Structure 1
Amino acid sequence: MPAHRSGREGSNARFADACSSLWIDGELVHLEDLVLHDAGHDVRAPTHELTIARDVLRSRRRIVAQPSGWALSPDGWSRRRGEGSHGDETGE
């Protein structure tokens, strides 16, 4: 699988990755619920786990939107810890 995905394939993979990262911690988030929550079309009140999955999704988008190596740079580390400026929260 290529390291860099673009378009629909990359977006789908980021949603699945966000759900999988919580599954590793023993939390279940349905992919469909995450897609609807991200679009602002929830069908029920979002759970704490769903909110965390959306944060993971935003973080993945932010990383993909930056130049290669940004995530491991000092600026990347501080931004992902919540320090510094937050001008580009969604990464889109």
Structure 2
Amino acid sequence: MTSFLALFNPSPIFLVFFQSWLIRRMRTMALTMEMAVLSFAWGVRRGVRSLGLTPMSEIMRRSASLLHWCETIESQLSCGVV
């Protein structure tokens, strides 16, 4: 990445706009991932209940863990850590 920047020698204003665009893009991807996980978890919960199983099955625990991971990523993006 450094050699790419050195080759084109972009202005500082371009770098600021590129960084803000990249952060917005990463937030969008994190939100999209979170929506996919929520949709999956909702579907699993509905399927588990329709089978008469308990909602806190192994699949639900894994879905909750994945949702927690997505929330962690989103919070890091909003704080500027990532």
TM category, shorter: 0.3 to 0.5
Q: Which has the higher contact order (CA 8 A, sep 6+)?
A: 2
- Return the index of the structure with the highest Cα Rg: 2
